[in-house]
Structure 1
Amino acid sequence: MTPAPPPPPAPPPPQRQPRPGRPPGRPPRPADDRPGAHRAPRSRIRQAFADAGVTGRLHARDIDTGADLAVAADTPVSTASVHKVCLLATLYREAEHGRVDLAAPVDIPAAGRTPGPTGLGAMRDAARLSLRDLAVLAVSVSDNTAADVLWDTVGIDAVNRTMAGLGLTRTTAVQKVRDLYAALAEDAGDGGAAALLDPARVARLRALDPARTNRSTPRELTALLAAVWRDEVCTGAYAADLRRTLGTQTWGHRLASGFPFDDVRVSGKTGTLPTLRHEIGVVEYPDGGRYAVAVCTRAAATAVTLPAADAVIGTAARLAVDALRAP
C-alpha cells in the first residue's frame, strides 16, 4: 500500500502591514489622537473648532480621578495672560515659605505703567495696593500693570523654578508683560495697532511664537490647575486664598459661557493676543466633581471681535467636561 504523501508545508505567516496612512517607521500618533475612549466627543470638539474658524488645542482632566480628554494637548502655545496663573501660583508659594508678604503695600506711580485697557493701566493717579490686591486685579480684569508689579516682586526665575518643581518642564516664562508689549509695538512698526490686522504682519509677531515668548501646553496648564486645587502648590489659608483669587475673573464670554448654571462654579483666566484666544480654569459641580480645562485657540481671521471664536472655548470645554462626567 502506497503511503499518503506528506501534507504541504504551511504557508508563511503574512507580513504585518503598516496601518493605512502611516509609513513604516513613523512613530505612533499621540494618545489624544488615537481611536478609543472619548472618540466621539473629541470629534465634536474638533468640528466645533473648525466651525468657529480656529485651530484649537484642549486638555481637560478630572482633578480627583485623573481621567482626561485631549485634543492636540501637547502642542506648545504662546500663553499670553494665561501665564498670570503661573505668576500667582509662585507668589502664593513664596508667601507660604516666608519670602513674600502678601499684605505688603506697594506704591504704583502714575507714570511708567504697563499698557493695558483695564485696571491700573487705564487709571490716571498714583495708587497704593497690597500684593494680594494686585493679584486680584491681575486676574479679575487681567491688569497688566498689577501683573508686572508681581513679576518684579517674585522674578521670572522664581516662576520658572516653581513650574519645574511641579514637573511642568514645558511651561516657561521669558518676559514680563511690558516686554511682550514692547515686542508687539516693535513688530507692528509705524503702522501701530492697525498693522495688527494685517495677516502678513501678524504671522511674524514674536508674541505668537511659543519659541520666543512665554509658553506652555494645554496638558501642563491643567496639571498646574489640578496642583492648585489639590493643595500641592501651597497649603491651608494660602491655597484657599489663591483659589479665591483665581475665581474673581469678570469675563464670562469664553470658558464660563459653557456652564450657565447658578450652582456650577467656574474659576478661570483668559489670555488674548492678535488671533489668539485662550482660557484655562476649573469647573466645580455641586456633586463635588472638579475639572481642570485648558482651551487654546488661534483664529484664521485677524479681526479683534470674533464672537464665535470666543464662544467655542465654552462649547469645547463643556463637551470635554460632559464626556468626563459621563458614566
Structure 2
Amino acid sequence: MASVEQRIRDTFRDAGAAGWLHAVPVVDAPSREIGVGADEQVVMASVYKLPLLVALCQRFADGTIDPTATVRVHPQSSSPGPTGVATFLDPVTLSWRDLAASMIAVSDNAAADVILGAVGLDAVRDVLTACGLAGTKVVGGQADIEASLVRDTGATSAAEAFALLADNDEALTVSVYDPAFASATTARDMTRLLSHVWSDAVVTPEQCALMRRLLRQQVWPHRVRAGFPHAGVVVAGKTGTIGAIRNEVAVVTFPGETPIAVAVFTFAARADAALPAVDAAIGECARLAVTELRSGRW
C-alpha cells in the first residue's frame, strides 16, 4: 500500500496542482507528523491574516487597542473584495474585534487593510520572530497585492488585473505567485503558529480563546472542512486565494481527542475563478493526513 505521503502527492497531481502539506497534533512534544514539502516556501495569500490577527490580539492584550472601541471604515477608499465591508456601499462603524471577525470569517480585505494600518507591519514581523517562524515573511497587505498585480499585468485597475490573472490564455509572470517577492511561509511554520494559538503560547489565554473562536467562524466549507463532514468535528481555519493559488491552514478537532493542526498550500495549473477539484483535493489531503495521525494516536 502506498504511504500516506504518496497518496497526498497523488491527490494533488490528480487535481492538477502542486501541493505542500504539514499536519501535527497540537501537543507539547508530538512524536508523529505528516509532511509533503513542509519546509518549502509558498505564497501565503490571505493566510497572512492569521499572523495579523495574532498581532492585533497582542495589541488588545497590552491595552494599545481597545477591542470594543469603534472604527469607521469607508468601503470606497478600501481594498476591493468579494466579501465583507469591501462589498458595502456606505461607510460602516464596527468595533475592532468585530472588524477582526469579518477579516477571518469571510476574509474581508477591507477589514484586513484597516487592521494592518493600525498594528503595522513591524508588529506582524515581531509575531513571526517570537514564534520562531523563520520561513515566513509578510511584505504587505491586500492593497500591496493589488498594486503589484496592476503593475505586473499592465492593467488599469485591480479588477482588470484579477480578470487577466484568471484568463488561462494569458501567459503572465506576476510577483504575487513568487515566494521570493510575495508574503510567504512554509506549511510547517503555519502548523507551528496554530499550535501556539491553541496552547495559549502566543498571547494571553483570553486573547488566544478569542482567536480560536474567530477561526471557528470561518464560513468556507469547500476546502479543509469538506474533508470532515462529520457531526461534532470542529474545523477552525483560514483560507487564502490568489488566482492559481488556493490554501488553507486549520485545526481539526474530533470529540474527546487532541486537536490536529494541518496546513495545505496549492498552486494549480489553471487560474480559473472556480477550481472545485483543487478545493476538494485540499479537503482530501487534510483528511488523509489527519486520519493517519489519529490512527496512530501518537
Common fold: TM-score over 0.5: yes
Distance 1:52 1:227 in 2: 32
Map Cα deviations across residues 90-138 of structure 1 (whole Å, 9 max, x no partner).
1112221222211111011243111101111110011111110000000
1:127 equivalent in structure 2: 92
- Among 170, 184, 192, the alignment partner of 2:149 is 184
2:290 equivalent in structure 1: 321
The code of the aligned residue for 1:155 comes to: G
Q: Which runs of 5+ in 2 are unaligned?
A: none
Is 1:61 aligned to 2:24, yes or no?
Answer: yes
CA contact (8 A) 1:188 1:201 kept: no
Moved more, 247-256 or 111-120: 111-120
Q: Summarize the alignment of residues 118-157 of structure 1 with structure 2, pairs less than 5 Å apart.
A: 118-157=83-122
How far the C-alpha of 1:182 sits from its partner, in A, is 1.5
Distance 2:154 2:250 in 1: 34
Distance 2:45 2:295 in 1: 32
The code of the aligned residue for 2:274 comes to: T
Is 1:266 aligned to 2:235, yes or no?
Answer: yes
Distance 1:116 1:212 in 2: 22
1:221 equivalent in structure 2: 190
TM-score with structure 1 setting the length: 0.85
1:169 equivalent in structure 2: 134
Map Cα deviations across residues 34-64 of structure 1 (whole Å, 9 max, x no partner).
xxxx971001101111111100000001111
How far the C-alpha of 1:201 sits from its partner, in A, is 5.1
SS at match of 1:326: helix
Larger Rg: 1
Is 1:43 aligned to 2:6, yes or no?
Answer: yes
- Among 60, 63, 82, the alignment partner of 1:117 is 82
Q: Which runs of 5+ in 1 are unaligned?
A: 1-37
- Cα distance change on mapping 1:156 and 1:201 into 2, 3 Å: farther
Paired-residue identity, %: 41
Distance 2:161 2:73 in 1: 27
Distance 2:250 2:171 in 1: 27
1:308 equivalent in structure 2: 277
Map Cα deviations across residues 201-241 of structure 1 (whole Å, 9 max, x no partner).
56411111111111110000000000000000112221111
> What is the aligned residue count?
290
- Across the aligned residues of Structure 1 and Structure 2, the Cα RMSD in angstroms comes to 1.6
- Among 226, 245, 248, the alignment partner of 1:257 is 226
- Cα distance change on mapping 1:126 and 1:164 into 2, 3 Å: same
- Cα distance change on mapping 1:39 and 1:90 into 2, 3 Å: farther
2:205 equivalent in structure 1: 236
- Cα distance change on mapping 1:265 and 1:107 into 2, 3 Å: same
The code of the aligned residue for 1:288 comes to: E
